[in-house]
Structure 1
Amino acid sequence: MMAFGEQTGKRTGQDPIGLEPKKRKVEFVVPEDGDDKEFTAEMYKRFLKTALSDLEKNETTQLDMVANQLAQPANSDQRISAENLSVLLDVLSKNINKIDSSKRAPLIQSIINFEKWWELPSYTLNKYMLFVTILCSSIPKWWQDVSMSLVSGFNLSPEKTVHHHSLLKYFLQMIPSSMGYIDMYLVRFFPNNNDSSKNLVNYISNLLTLTTYCKELQFQAWSLIVERTISLDVALQNELDELDDDIEDFEGDDDDDDNEEKEEDDTNGIPDEDIVAEDEDQDDVPESELEGEEEYNVKVSQSIKDLSTKLDAILTLVTGRLQEELTAENLQAGDGVTIFNTLTTLFKSHVLPTYYTKSIQYIVFLISQQQIELMDSFLVTLIDISFSPTETSEKKIKSLQYLGSYIARAKKLSRTQIIFVASYLTSWLNRYVLEREEEVDQPGGMERFKHFYAAFQALCYIFCFRYSLFRDADSSWECELDKFFPRMVLTKFNPLKYCNENVMLMFARIAQHEDVACCFSIIENNNNERLRGIIGRGDKDSKTSQSVATSTWSLATRQQFIDLQSYFPYDPLFLKHYKQMMKDYYIEWSEAGGEYESDELED
């Protein structure tokens, strides 16, 4: 029995169809008997065919009511039943040309945007996907709306988007020209930093699935993932910096020395620190005891935890997927090489130029260690940038920082690779001294030689972590380091003065204990010179090269240089799960040279 009136135009004792479409529903009383089910389906099919015929008379009332039922939320009792939806999709699939007009658009839009269509019973779901396929194949203009709806569903878990990807895969092959606007949708629907961790992870997971069947969008998808992850990484670092500043202001001048000491430990790459753990402890403080600045710090700490949780989940997901992709078999087939080259390109264009990221660089750190050829490739990339005549000075210094930090921390590197990089650095530094040492006596600040200092610091940092590998079978020093280092520290460049102080102190301790160089007398002399300069006892009439060079190095320029030299890209992670993932690939300071932490080795 149909619950709608006959189309006679007369009153039936009920409201005419279409007057209050949101309150009316086309449905059938479905008895238990199977034959009656078929009967009611046939009646509904006749109704739909009549409604389609009415379209030729510009009468859309019946189909508008159907569209309204389709547009109802999934939990509404006014929504079309799965049985009637199957019938509707069947009828429309066989009459696709009849709905190809602007007046039929609301009906089609309601089907495309049918809420939770992926949760329909399998029989109806198959009908739904078939209709979408017929619709977009017959009237291609609708694919733009369908693809937008599919991409907008990427915040769903991967288990719920299997059919989304089936349709995307089919039509990307059928309509390759659609990749342009699908690329725009990928950007439009990407969750922002304030969205939930779940939505961010789901979206990125679906993006990664997209790259498996659409190689043409692989670079765009990875670019988007890297850009948004950098955004989270930078936001987290800004929060950490703000928290540090606020804590320093709150604690006052009495604790300045302690704060400075902690800051040095966090930035010099030696030893390991865990930042977030300290912030999490603040959760134990009762709200009643929090006032003013302290209360503000707790709020910032919550933001830090939110950002770190998102970043941790994203990087763990992405790196895990990459490990699956970069197998020996995939590399042999060429697919793995393409992905690695894509990420190397994005490292150069996005990660390297961004200042003080803490976590995203670990993607290439780990995936490069999957195979020795990938490590070779990454090392060559860093060396090329570090010594390229066309790169900016800042980018070359950043690349040297990555080179030194990578060699120091990457556990899978071979001794051959480490010795090769050290040999390259010593050769370049020796040549630099021969060609430019005389310039130190000429007017100009020592910042002219910051490329030299960055290279020397990278080598010293490597030595601190890898000194045990630099002796050959006869206990002789590779690269003649026992001759190289004493010569370098005595040059007019005076690298022990202008490189990072903490690294130079640690290098001095290890170098002296390993009998490769004696540095403490030079460091002491540098400290005395600096002290005389601070208290105004320097010889202002002196025309020595060092006085001339130093006098033109402004405080601002010197601070900028110090900040740049204090960045160690592969300092310890503080992301809980991602740090665990790095365990087999990462060298902790305690594993490399922790015994040299003691000040007793200074003398």
Structure 2
Amino acid sequence: MEAPLPKPSLTTFPGKQSRKSSATTPSSSSLLLVRRPIATNSRVKQDEKYRNEMYLSFITSALQEKAIGRSERFDDLVNQFNPKAASQASAQLRAWILTLSHVVSRLERVHYALIEAIVRMPWTTMDTATVKSYTIFIGMLLSARPEYLSLVLGMIAQGFTYQSCAQALDASASSGPMTRRTVYDRLHYLLQHILSLIPTLPSTLMPLLSRNFPHKRQNIASQSTYIRNLLRVCGYCPELSDKILGTIVDRAIQIDVEIQVELEELEEAEAEQDQEVFELDPFDVLIGQEGDDSDTDSDDGDGDDFSDLSSDAGGDLDLDNHGQPEATITNVRHIQDMVKKLDTILTLTFEHFDRSQSSTPKPPSPSPPTSLPPLDLPPLPPVYDSFNPLAISIQSPTPSIPSPPPPITQAPSTPLSSSPAPPSKTPALHITFNSLLAIFDRTILLTFKSRYTQFLLFWYTSLDPDFADIFLGMLIDRALINPSTPTVTRAAAASYIGSFVSRARFVDREGVRTVIRVLCDFLATHLDNIEHAGSADSAQNSVFYAVSQSLFLVFCFRWRDMQEDEDEDIVKTEGKKWMRELSVVHRVVNSSLNPLKVCSPNVAMQFARVANTVGFMYCYTVLETNKRQNARATAAPTRIFTTAAVNAELNTFFPFDPYKLPRSGPYIEGIYREWGEVAIEDDEEDEDEEDEDEDEMRDTFDEGGIPVVRKTETEEDPATQGLGESLGAMSISPVRPRNGI
């Protein structure tokens, strides 16, 4: 019987044997004579051809045998791509991959284990030639077998994570040093290649990108790494920009809300333990500005200190006091960590927007280059290196945006040195704005406890006067025009109107006056309806109170723009001319709805002060009456109604409180109006002539902050001094500048 043929070796494929072989060891001179014919191109090509035939023969037989249920050779083939089972040289792995490229049409479902092994191999850490061969193979595989697209894209999405890159580097078979930059460059290179072959790829890719997004509990490096890679995908896959941005904003708002919720819980825990709690401002704590313990409690009254109008701001907790409970210190450290994550996410997003609006869009390459040029992904985890800007060349579907009313804002008369440079009007800029506006409408607007995420839209609206028009138009539609909008959303939109117009430097005089007309018309119509019907729906009243509070707030910041004489800036005058529409404010303040009683006490008191100082109206009588009524009401049991709960929530909701995040803060500084820029200076000579209530209100706004334990005026506390500056928060009290963040 004829002996069976030997099984092909998977490790070596020697060339054909030489016809003559020497039985003795050759001398050095004979070696020189035999080297020349061995090095000929024809001999090398002949050996390579023989080797490729052996590889192809083995692969073909392995695939055929697997199809009929015999797995021995197939399992050996799979093991070639398992770094734990065998240590393969890059050249040999490359030979297997190149040979498999010729039989991709034969790779059936039964061969899934082989495809999975190839996809999961640590190819990103291998030499450039192997990476190129791998990329070509994957492209050919997906072109012939698109059913493997999810598997490959899942590998890429997971590869964008910080942990996956660490695992790839640990399993690296490369002899040279390998950086994260190189690993991520190769992943993006492969994804761009696949995108050029399969234009419908985005619909499959996005769910996988969302699934691999790091949990909010993961560290800053994990968050920033993945977000940078996602934003880089936007550059060559603009169809995903909207959804990627929405995913990032959703994560930011989750962290944003958790910070505020945990601050509230921490304050409640401290109150139960009867601890002396300072204004817990995690943003100050973040940069090491913890406050000192307070010795005494001021008798100026409860609620005299306001760091900002939002009670969600929290206060500083003294971590240096060894008497603090360990659980409290742990909670504060967790809050600090969450604040850093939020700051990092917003910084990355601002940088992405900044690059996109200042760059020239360019179309993605139709096919990958013949070699692997270095891409400009920055080293990770630092957050300030620059990398490839957004490049959008085609129109992606834009969300439906409500039609805005007549223009609300105009371009600022004088450019701000620290504001973004006016960008060229490109479709990409407007596409991104529409996407961001849609995200705001469906996510941010519905979230009361978000404090910083909404500043993404605040910054983006400063890029073009039309953007501020559209944003205000949408807010007006949600708050005042669309009756189908839930009451809570309408009231929140009204709060956004007041906060945005008050704080945005790029909303000019005419824009302010247009908004005031709209708000006053709504208030007048609401009062007319009450007079005719005798009563009003409680939900409608909630919107009324929110609009009233917004109007009061805008007046405190922008009263100069409401005068008929634009050049007049004299505080005390007789017979000053105001906008005709403002006449309804007298009617609103003295109405049975009594908005000064329902609105935020800080806003109500400051409005009364400013309105009286500039000669607009006198409100102290109403405030004094409200104060007496509130004092009597505190002794009686109270019932919680839905409307009252909504009003209480809105009283502490000021969307554009001062921006205190240190890293991303510079993006907001140049376009944000601080209270100190518009505050009316106190006249110390007239203080003795003020009644007791006015003195109390002035004390309230001079110091600012949420109700906290304070030192007396004679004591100098660095922590409490820092609270004064933070009163430039949504709070409108005149604060002297102090050393802060």
Asked whether the two chains share a fold, i.e. TM above 0.5, the reply is: yes
In the alignment, the residues of structure 2 paired with residue 524 and residue 49 of structure 1 have an alpha-carbon distance, to the nearest angstrom, of 94
Residue aligned with 2:217, SS: coil
Q: What letter corresponds to residue 571 of structure 1 in structure 2?
A: D
* 1:67 match: 78
* 2:550 match: 458
* 1:390 match: 484
In the alignment, the residues of structure 2 paired with residue 172 and residue 597 of structure 1 have an alpha-carbon distance, to the nearest angstrom, of 67
Listed one character per residue, the Cα deviations across residues 57-115 of structure 1 (whole Å, up to 9, x for unaligned) are: 45654553343242216xx9x432211122222222223334x1345333322221111
Listed one character per residue, the Cα deviations across residues 179-237 of structure 1 (whole Å, up to 9, x for unaligned) are: 43322212211111112222222222222222333333333223322222222222222
> Is the alpha carbon distance of 1:416 and 1:27 closer, same or farther for their aligned partners in structure 2, counting shifts above 3 Å?
farther
Matched, 1:365 2:458: yes
Question: 2:523 touches 2:584 (CA, 8 Å); kept in 1?
Answer: no
In the alignment, the residues of structure 1 paired with residue 300 and residue 203 of structure 2 have an alpha-carbon distance, to the nearest angstrom, of 51
Is the deviation greater in 197-206 or in 337-346? 197-206
The alignment covers a number of residue pairs equal to 552
Question: 1:312 touches 1:578 (CA, 8 Å); kept in 2?
Answer: yes
Question: 2:538 touches 2:643 (CA, 8 Å); kept in 1?
Answer: no
In the alignment, the residues of structure 2 paired with residue 474 and residue 324 of structure 1 have an alpha-carbon distance, to the nearest angstrom, of 38
* 1:26 match: 11
User: 1:344-423 maps to which residues of 2 (within 5 A)?
Assistant: 344-387=437-480, 388-423=482-517
In the alignment, the residues of structure 1 paired with residue 44 and residue 194 of structure 2 have an alpha-carbon distance, to the nearest angstrom, of 35
Q: What letter corresponds to residue 146 of structure 1 in structure 2?
A: V
> Is the alpha carbon distance of 1:527 and 1:555 closer, same or farther for their aligned partners in structure 2, counting shifts above 3 Å?
farther
Residue aligned with 2:664, SS: helix
In the alignment, the residues of structure 1 paired with residue 529 and residue 603 of structure 2 have an alpha-carbon distance, to the nearest angstrom, of 26
In the alignment, the residues of structure 2 paired with residue 260 and residue 361 of structure 1 have an alpha-carbon distance, to the nearest angstrom, of 33
> Is the alpha carbon distance of 1:60 and 1:597 closer, same or farther for their aligned partners in structure 2, counting shifts above 3 Å?
farther
Question: 1:118 touches 1:160 (CA, 8 Å); kept in 2?
Answer: yes
Residue aligned with 1:577, SS: coil
Question: 1:425 touches 1:459 (CA, 8 Å); kept in 2?
Answer: yes
User: 1:301-320 maps to which residues of 2 (within 5 A)?
Assistant: 301-320=332-351
Task: From 218, 233, 240, give the equivalent of 2:241.
Answer: 218
> Is the alpha carbon distance of 1:257 and 1:499 closer, same or farther for their aligned partners in structure 2, counting shifts above 3 Å?
farther
* Bigger relative CO (Cα 8 Å, ≥ 6 apart): 2
Task: From 502, 507, 518, give the equivalent of 2:607.
Answer: 507
Q: What letter corresponds to residue 454 of structure 1 in structure 2?
A: A
Task: From 571, 581, 596, give the equivalent of 1:496.
Answer: 596
In the alignment, the residues of structure 1 paired with residue 260 and residue 313 of structure 2 have an alpha-carbon distance, to the nearest angstrom, of 14
In the alignment, the residues of structure 2 paired with residue 436 and residue 159 of structure 1 have an alpha-carbon distance, to the nearest angstrom, of 68
| CA shift for structure 1 position 252 | 5.1
| CA shift for structure 1 position 482 | 6.8
Residue aligned with 2:665, SS: helix
| CA shift for structure 1 position 461 | 0.5
> Is the alpha carbon distance of 1:328 and 1:450 closer, same or farther for their aligned partners in structure 2, counting shifts above 3 Å?
farther
> Is the alpha carbon distance of 1:290 and 1:64 closer, same or farther for their aligned partners in structure 2, counting shifts above 3 Å?
farther
In the alignment, the residues of structure 1 paired with residue 47 and residue 530 of structure 2 have an alpha-carbon distance, to the nearest angstrom, of 93
Listed one character per residue, the Cα deviations across residues 251-286 of structure 1 (whole Å, up to 9, x for unaligned) are: 25999989995797255159xx9758x35x52x45x
Is the deviation greater in 207-216 or in 522-531? 207-216
In the alignment, the residues of structure 2 paired with residue 448 and residue 380 of structure 1 have an alpha-carbon distance, to the nearest angstrom, of 20
> Is the alpha carbon distance of 1:514 and 1:113 closer, same or farther for their aligned partners in structure 2, counting shifts above 3 Å?
same
Listed one character per residue, the Cα deviations across residues 556-589 of structure 1 (whole Å, up to 9, x for unaligned) are: 7434422222210111233221223211121222
| CA shift for structure 1 position 376 | 1.1
Listed one character per residue, the Cα deviations across residues 435-483 of structure 1 (whole Å, up to 9, x for unaligned) are: 32455x65x7876522222111101101112223333236354424774
Task: From 87, 95, 100, give the equivalent of 1:79.
Answer: 87
| CA shift for structure 1 position 338 | 1.5
Matched, 1:585 2:593: no
Judging by fraction of residues, say which structure has more helix. Answer: 1
| CA shift for structure 1 position 405 | 0.6
Question: 1:48 touches 1:91 (CA, 8 Å); kept in 2?
Answer: yes
> Is the alpha carbon distance of 1:143 and 1:563 closer, same or farther for their aligned partners in structure 2, counting shifts above 3 Å?
closer
* 1:546 match: none
| CA shift for structure 1 position 398 | 0.2
* 1:525 match: 625
In the alignment, the residues of structure 2 paired with residue 61 and residue 594 of structure 1 have an alpha-carbon distance, to the nearest angstrom, of 87
* 2:150 match: 144
User: 1:11-160 maps to which residues of 2 (within 5 A)?
Assistant: 26=11, 35=39, 45-55=52-62, 56-58=64-66, 60-72=71-83, 78-98=86-106, 100-115=107-122, 117-155=123-161, 160=183
* 2:525 match: 431
Listed one character per residue, the Cα deviations across residues 46-66 of structure 1 (whole Å, up to 9, x for unaligned) are: 542342243234565455334
Task: From 250, 267, 272, give the equivalent of 1:249.
Answer: 272
In the alignment, the residues of structure 2 paired with residue 517 and residue 579 of structure 1 have an alpha-carbon distance, to the nearest angstrom, of 37
> Is the alpha carbon distance of 1:350 and 1:422 closer, same or farther for their aligned partners in structure 2, counting shifts above 3 Å?
same
Question: 1:312 touches 1:576 (CA, 8 Å); kept in 2?
Answer: yes
| CA shift for structure 1 position 7 | 6.9
Unpaired stretches in structure 1, ≥5 consecutive residues: 1-5, 10-15, 18-24, 537-550
> Is the alpha carbon distance of 1:532 and 1:438 closer, same or farther for their aligned partners in structure 2, counting shifts above 3 Å?
farther
* 1:268 match: 309
In the alignment, the residues of structure 2 paired with residue 103 and residue 307 of structure 1 have an alpha-carbon distance, to the nearest angstrom, of 47
In the alignment, the residues of structure 2 paired with residue 447 and residue 96 of structure 1 have an alpha-carbon distance, to the nearest angstrom, of 65
In the alignment, the residues of structure 2 paired with residue 359 and residue 597 of structure 1 have an alpha-carbon distance, to the nearest angstrom, of 35
In the alignment, the residues of structure 2 paired with residue 530 and residue 211 of structure 1 have an alpha-carbon distance, to the nearest angstrom, of 54
| CA shift for structure 1 position 335 | 1.8
> Is the alpha carbon distance of 1:275 and 1:566 closer, same or farther for their aligned partners in structure 2, counting shifts above 3 Å?
closer
Question: 1:44 touches 1:84 (CA, 8 Å); kept in 2?
Answer: no
> Is the alpha carbon distance of 1:152 and 1:535 closer, same or farther for their aligned partners in structure 2, counting shifts above 3 Å?
closer
Structure 2-normalised TM-score? 0.67
> Is the alpha carbon distance of 1:37 and 1:413 closer, same or farther for their aligned partners in structure 2, counting shifts above 3 Å?
farther
Task: From 322, 325, 328, give the equivalent of 2:356.
Answer: 325
What is the RMSD computed on CA atoms of the aligned residues?
3.7
> Is the alpha carbon distance of 1:274 and 1:382 closer, same or farther for their aligned partners in structure 2, counting shifts above 3 Å?
closer
Q: Identity percentage over the alignment? A: 24
* 2:203 match: 180
In the alignment, the residues of structure 1 paired with residue 50 and residue 582 of structure 2 have an alpha-carbon distance, to the nearest angstrom, of 95
In the alignment, the residues of structure 2 paired with residue 469 and residue 193 of structure 1 have an alpha-carbon distance, to the nearest angstrom, of 43
Structure 1-normalised TM-score? 0.81
Question: 1:401 touches 1:458 (CA, 8 Å); kept in 2?
Answer: yes
Residue aligned with 1:265, SS: coil
| CA shift for structure 1 position 597 | 11
Is the deviation greater in 483-492 or in 118-127? 483-492
Listed one character per residue, the Cα deviations across residues 283-321 of structure 1 (whole Å, up to 9, x for unaligned) are: x45xxx467xx1101111121112111111111111221
| CA shift for structure 1 position 352 | 0.7
Listed one character per residue, the Cα deviations across residues 345-401 of structure 1 (whole Å, up to 9, x for unaligned) are: 111111111121111111111111111111111111111111122212111110010
In the alignment, the residues of structure 1 paired with residue 301 and residue 355 of structure 2 have an alpha-carbon distance, to the nearest angstrom, of 43
* 1:548 match: none
> Is the alpha carbon distance of 1:554 and 1:103 closer, same or farther for their aligned partners in structure 2, counting shifts above 3 Å?
closer
> Is the alpha carbon distance of 1:517 and 1:7 closer, same or farther for their aligned partners in structure 2, counting shifts above 3 Å?
farther
Question: 1:429 touches 1:455 (CA, 8 Å); kept in 2?
Answer: yes
